Amino acid sequence: MDDKNFHQNLYRYLDGEMSPEEKNEFEAAMKDNPLSQSQLENEQRFDQVIRRHMIQEEAPYELRERIIDRLQHRSPFERLRETAWFAPLASGLITAFIAVIFFAVLAHTPREFTAFAQGIDTHIEHLHGTYQAEFLTDDIDAAVHWFDEKLDFAVIRPHIAPDKAKLIGARIIQINGRKAAYFMYDVQGHPLSAFVMDMNGEPLERIRDRMLRENDNARIYARNMKGFQAVLCYHRGNDTGCMLVTDMTQDELLPLMG
């Protein structure tokens, strides 16, 4: 038996953790080894010293009395906590409270203005062929009239000089979760998308830093993303907006708007 094994077995033997077979085997090995026997005897004496000095004290009488008294006179809250339904009810209330706070914060958190990004993405999808015109026409009045009774706001003509851009067609699209009028144009080989939208409730204050111009009737905002230019003209009077998206530069686009 090597040293490490011997010491491990020594303690297991002293602590009464050996099976009868292991105990017999250990005692047989010890019999022929006086040095190990002497070590065992020393360890046994040391063990007994520890046992003699680690005696169990009696718990104070006052402690017992105090505990019994507390068990007898538990507070109403302590009694409530012991009931089976307390934990699920408490968890439910806490969850409900957190949900209320969350939705209250959400309701008061200002929305982001996402129309620019959505308009540009829609224009890109149109370039890829995803969106085709539902109504093919080059007559802007016919196109505007086509939206009658299809949308719940008055669709205006997009702000594009008719002699500078060729109308191809129109369709309905979703911007900001609302239906918008989508006019598809070609400007000397440059595809151009024009979106006419109901701007009621849109957080225009969030894009204040993107405002180019302002007068009594309208404001113009611009944004450049993913290599495309988006220009939004907002009409205060009827709360509508017209957003143009194209790959032309701002300097090329603004003159088209008149």
Which positions lie near other proteins, rule CB under 8 A?
3, 7-8, 11-12, 15-17, 39, 42-43, 45-46, 49-60, 63-64, 66-68, 70-71, 74, 78, 81-82, 84
Run of H or E including 81? helix 76-81
Least separation in angstroms between residue 11's CB and other proteins is: 6
- Burial, 78: exposed, middle or buried (Cβ in 10 Å; 0-12, 13-18, 19+)? exposed
CA distance 145 to 185: 17
Q: State which residue, 78 or 138, has the beta carbon closest to other proteins.
A: 78
Distance in Å, CB of 114 to other proteins, minimum: 47
* For helices 20-31 and 3-14, angle between their N-to-C axes, nearest 10 degrees: 120
What number of residues does the chain have? 258
Q: How far is the CB of 24 from other proteins (least distance, A)?
A: 20
Nearest distance from residue 178's CB to other proteins, in Å? 54
- Give the C-alpha separation, 22 to 5, whole Å: 13
Q: CB of 54: closest distance to other proteins in angstroms? A: 4
Residue closer to other proteins by CB (options 74, 226) is: 74
Q: Among residues 53 and 128, whose Cβ is nearest to other proteins?
A: 53
Which pair of tokens denotes residue 219?
């404001």
Nearest one of 158, 150, 179 to 246, comparing CA atoms? 158
Nearer to other proteins by Cβ, of 45 and 108: the residue is 45
Shortest separation between residue 33's beta carbon and other proteins, angstroms: 14
Closer by beta carbon to other proteins, 46 or else 103:
46
Nearer to other proteins, 67 or 225 (CB): 67
Q: Which of 71, 172, 20 has its CA nearest to residue 183?
A: 172
- CA distance linking residue 234 with residue 132, whole number of Å: 26
Place of tokens 């194209």: 246
Please report how the helices 3-14 and 34-53 are oriented relative to each other, as an axis angle in degrees rounded to 10: 40
Phi and psi torsions of 98, nearest 5°: -60, -40
CA nearest 220: which of 250, 191, 192?
250
Our CB check for other proteins shows the closer of 60 and 129 to be 60
Q: How far is the CB of 55 from other proteins (least distance, A)?
A: 7
Phi, psi at residue 220, to the nearest 5°? -120, 130
